[in-house]
Structure 1
């Protein structure tokens, strides 16, 4: 069996996609407060900055920056997933009917897909492109018509903070 070794590049922003095991579920938005609490609890013990975040019904995208010298994003994702799973199973009574034999054998609750996808952002243009991707993902999935209509996104914070102007600069540069 092959073993995937994740890159470890300190100081580089990282884009993530994390997905529920049940791709047709609305659990993440239905249980958004439990997810937020899991993220907050994890950040209190293993800090990281959130550059962007969008939560969709069955998956999420985000961009993090880890503290200087720290590259252990896998432990953070493990903690977030575990905390969220415990909260959902304890409070909501999550009982997935479709768990593989390996998940049952490992005691996996079956809430999340086992892995996540990450991409280390190469430069400011790559960061701007992934910020834009986070903002527009609810539109892409036809959940809303405009990014500002989706409540579970850092779009609102970024717009209020002027970050959209910074991203727009890359659009202008690409046209010239």
Structure 2
């Protein structure tokens, strides 16, 4: 296995990709999206962070989080979010997928992939590029034709705060 090392920058801004186990589309269910949002809210209340961008897709999530000055513990936050979400799921949701012997040995659920991908945001241009990536991701995955049509995205709050044009990436010409 490669010797992967994460970069921890106190007070940093990070882009994350978090994927469900075997890419199960567990977020096709709006109830599960509500449970995820509650888990994230709990993490935010216990370990402050600012969410700059987010999108929830059927089998993966993207976030851009900014941590408080002096704090670089994003792994703890993601771990806590995964645990809280998994614990909140009804038993029937947890048992739909078989768990491997290795995952059972390490007391891991069959909800999330073990790892996550992170990128430290370097500057404003990098932030803008990753925000655009997040907001256009539902289009990329052929879930909708335009970013504004995807309900589970920070795109709408950026438009509401007049920081993005609602027609950005739009091909449907819906006003």
- The normalised TM-score by structure 2 is 0.88
Instruction: Tell me the residue number matched to 2:100.
Output: 100
Distance 1:160 1:68 in 2: 27
The alpha carbon displacement at 1:69 in A equals 0.2
Structure 1 residue runs of 5 or longer lacking an equivalent are 169-176
Residue in structure 1 matched with residue 61 of structure 2 by the alignment: 60
Q: Which is richer in helix? A: 1
Deviation >3 Å, runs of 4+: none
**Residue 72 (structure 1) aligned with residue 73 (structure 2):** yes
CA RMSD, 1 decimal: 1.6
Paired position in structure 2 for 1:26: 25
Alignment of 1:121-160 (within 5 A): 121-160=121-160
Task: State the distance in 2 between where 1:71 and 1:48 align.
Answer: 10
Measured after TM superposition, the shift of residue 106 of structure 1 is: 1.7
Contact 2:94/2:110, CA 8 A, preserved across alignment? no
User: 1:109 Cα deviation (Å)?
Assistant: 1.4
Asked whether the equivalents of residues 14 and 121 of structure 1 are also in contact (C-alpha less than 8 Å), the reply is yes
CA deviation map 1:35-74 (0-9, x unaligned): 0000001111001000000000000111000000000000
Q: Per the alignment, in what secondary structure is the counterpart of residue 40 of structure 1?
A: helix
SS of the counterpart of 1:164? coil
CA shift, 1:4, in A, is 2.8
The Cα of 1:2 is off from its aligned counterpart by 5.0
SS of aligned partner of 1:75:
helix
Q: Which runs of 5+ in 2 are unaligned?
A: 169-175
Are 2:50 and 1:45 aligned? no
For 2:68 and 2:87, locate their aligned partners in 1 and report how far apart those are by CA, in whole Å. Answer: 27
Counterpart Cα distance in 1 of 2:26 and 2:70: 34
- Whether contact under 8 Å (1:28, 1:56) holds in the other structure is yes
CA contact (8 A) 1:89 1:95 kept: no
Measure the CA separation in 1 of the matches of 2:152 and 2:15. 17
Equivalent residue number for residue 119 of structure 2:
119
Structure 2 CA distance, aligned partners of 1:37 and 1:149?
23
C-alpha distance in 2, partners of 1:54/1:29?
Answer: 13
What is the TM-score of this pair, normalised by structure 1? Answer: 0.87
* Superimposed CA distance per residue, residues 56-112 of structure 1 (whole angstroms, 9 cap, x where no aligned partner): 00001110000000000000000000000001144x542143322210112211100
